[in-house]
């Protein structure tokens, strides 16, 4: 392809009201790339959009069809979830996370996005004057937007230089004024793909107990730290969790990536039993119900979506059951992302790029769904701008609330050999562009 002119790109960005590409959202970048594809007649290499890029689990599809054929579509689902979903989720968490979660404390949600939104809302209504939420960054851009929509004070802590022993003091500083109600992080981390260790999670758990903060642990990519084999149900090593170190926690699990089931919008929230049963006077006064768990189900989720699609619950329930019983090895299925990451990283390195979040404590960062990449100290916005001129779209690290410069790479759309060839060619074009701009 030929490099897209600055004028053309500016025209498209203006048309989409993208004033600063550094802060452009995933959807805005997708839309801009699609418009540029239309204008240039060339397909882009899409590194921005985190769609699964792997076929949905057949266990889920078959069960969902069966459920619909059995006529369940005409009846409202129970807001707390159908019983088999709750049992299978409890067993699934035991098998792969290694902790006991009571079935009554597990609630299906319309994707983990909905789970997180409602948990945040509830956490912000537990105590008068506690409306701050801590995010470990970089993070999932939509999570920050949730805090914005809810009018919460988002405090970010960049894990780039706050890992290990540094995490505790940095977190404590943010919690010390007593205004924080919750903290949110994903592990493995979207986008850096670093993995918090049990020690770090112990630090988080201890501080959450000390400052009465609720840890909202996002396991959208659970068991995808492929450096160790987490594919065997009921056998260690398990997915690390804060749940071993505090009662102040809720876990969010999404079917979108682990089962490639993003289209059906199903996930779950698992709340610790102590938190589920904990009574808050503020909730009682506002809603007539005191307990955290009852309010989550009967107040927040109920008025939000009145539960989660019944057939999608059947599907996720079946996929969890098949995983627990060893019929379905979901971890091996998604290992494909590590292969794509390895191959695409090599192409980036060949063209002079380097990883931004390159270390996971003293280890190399592992290969998975995302990674972060930079070029010769270029600002993230300039890098993305020039990559878009060369037919590659992504989002900047600024959009993930990172203080570092670079872009987030999502490997899910690198589906075919041709995509890798195209990535190689486009990065070659990018390097030529840099050289010609340096000469000017
Ligand atoms: C960290 C993280 N959490 C949650 C989600 C969304 O999950 P769901 O599709 O279940 O709403 C994503 C999707 O990209 C994600 O990266």
136 phi/psi in degrees, rounded to 5? -80, 130
Share of the chain above pLDDT 70, in %: 100
CB of 111 within 6 A of ligand 1: the answer is: yes
Structure pTM?
Answer: 0.95
CB of 226 within 6 A of ligand 1: the answer is: no
CA of 220 to the centre of ligand 1 (A): 6
CB of 190 within 6 A of ligand 1: the answer is: yes
Tokens of 429: 């074009």
Which atom of ligand 1 has the smallest separation from the CA of 262? 9
CA of 142 to the centre of ligand 1 (A): 9
* Same fold yes or no, 6-43+336-439 and 58-324: no
Which of 18-27, 202-211, 314-323 has the least mean pLDDT? 18-27
Angle at 434 between CA 439 and CA 436, to 5 degrees: 35
Q: Which residues of 69-107 are buried (b: 16+ CB within 10 A; e: fewer)?
A: eeebeeeebbbbbbeebbbbbbbbbbbbbbbebebbbbb
Q: What confidence tens digit (pLDDT) does each residue in 321-376 have? A: 999 999 999 999 999 999 999 999 999 999 999 999 999 999 999 999 999 999 99
CA–CA separation, 220 and 258 (whole Å) = 7
CATH fold for the domain made of 6-43+336-439: 3.90.1150
CA of 48 to the centre of ligand 1 (A): 14
Q: What is the model's pLDDT at position 202?
A: 98
Given a cut of 80, whether residue 95 has pLDDT beyond it is yes
Mean confidence (pLDDT) of the chain: 96
Altogether, the residues listed in the chain come to a count of 440
What is the CATH architecture of 58-324?
3-Layer(aba) Sandwich (3.40)
Angle between helix axes 58-69 and 310-324 (nearest 10 degrees) is 140
CB of 256 within 6 A of ligand 1: the answer is: yes
Kindly indicate the confidence band of residue 27, based on its pLDDT and cuts at 50, 70 and 90.
Answer: confident
Domain map of the chain by residue range? 6-43+336-439, 58-324
The residue whose CA is least distant from atom 3 of ligand 1 is: 220
Instruction: Name residues whose C-beta falls within 8 Å of residue 225's C-beta, 6 or more positions apart in sequence.
Output: 188, 195, 366, 368
CB of 262 within 6 A of ligand 1: the answer is: yes
Asked if residues 188 and 194 have their Cβ atoms less than 8 Å apart, the reply is: yes
Q: What is the mean pLDDT of residues 48-56?
A: 85
CA–CA separation, 413 and 107 (whole Å) = 31
CB of 107 within 6 A of ligand 1: the answer is: no
271 phi/psi in degrees, rounded to 5? -105, 140
Q: What confidence tens digit (pLDDT) does each residue in 135-155 have? A: 999 999 999 999 999 999 999
CA of 118 to the centre of ligand 1 (A): 14
Angle at 345 between CA 341 and CA 350, to 5 degrees: 155
CA–CA separation, 204 and 195 (whole Å) = 14
């Amino acid at each position: 392809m030929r490099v897209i002119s600055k004028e053309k790109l500016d025209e498209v960005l203006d048309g989409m009201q993208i004033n600063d590409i550094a802060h452009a959202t995933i959807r805005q970048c997708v839309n801009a790339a699609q418009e540029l594809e239309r204008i240039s007649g060339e397909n882009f290499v899409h590194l921005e959009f985190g769609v699964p890029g792997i076929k949905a689990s057949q266990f889920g599809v078959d069960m969902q069809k069966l459920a619909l054929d059995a006529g369940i579509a005409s009846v409202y689902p129970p807001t707390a979830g159908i019983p088999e979903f709750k049992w299978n989720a409890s067993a699934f968490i035991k098998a792969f996370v290694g902790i006991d979660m009571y079935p009554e404390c597990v609630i299906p949600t319309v994707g983990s996005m909905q789970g997180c939104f409602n948990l945040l809302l509830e956490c912000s209504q537990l105590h008068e004057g506690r409306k701050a939420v801590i995010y470990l960054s970089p993070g999932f851009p939509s999570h920050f937007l949730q805090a914005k929509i809810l009018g919460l004070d988002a405090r970010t802590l960049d894990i780039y230089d706050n890992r290990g022993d540094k995490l505790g003091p940095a977190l404590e500083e943010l919690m010390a004024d007593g205004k924080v109600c919750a903290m949110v992080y994903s592990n493995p981390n979207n986008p850096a793909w670093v993995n918090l260790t049990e020690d770090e999670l112990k630090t988080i758990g201890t501080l959450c107990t000390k400052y009465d903060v609720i840890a909202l642990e996002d396991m959208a990519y659970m068991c995808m730290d492929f450096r160790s084999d987490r594919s065997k149900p009921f056998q260690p090593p398990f997915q690390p969790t804060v749940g071993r170190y505090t009662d102040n926690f809720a876990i969010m699990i999404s079917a979108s990536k682990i089962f490639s089931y993003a289209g059906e919008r199903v996930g779950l929230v698992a709340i610790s039993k102590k938190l589920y049963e904990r009574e808050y006077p503020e909730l009682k006064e506002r809603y007539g119900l005191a307990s955290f768990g009852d309010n989550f189900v009967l107040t927040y989720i109920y008025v939000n979506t009145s539960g989660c699609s019944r057939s999608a619950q059947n599907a996720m329930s079946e996929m969890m059951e098949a995983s627990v019983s060893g019929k379905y090895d979901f971890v091996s299925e998604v290992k494909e992302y590590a292969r794509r990451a390895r191959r695409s990283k090599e192409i980036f390195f060949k063209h002079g790029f380097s990883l931004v979040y390159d270390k996971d404590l003293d280890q190399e960062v592992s290969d998975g769904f995302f990674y972060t990449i930079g070029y010769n100290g270029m600002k993230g916005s300039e890098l993305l701008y020039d990559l878009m001129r060369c037919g590659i779209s992504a989002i900047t690290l600024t959009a993930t609330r990172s203080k570092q410069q670079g872009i987030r790479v999502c490997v899910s759309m690198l589906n075919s050999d041709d995509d890798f060839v195209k990535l190689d060619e486009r990065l070659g074009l990018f390097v030529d562009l840099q050289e010609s701009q340096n000469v000017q």
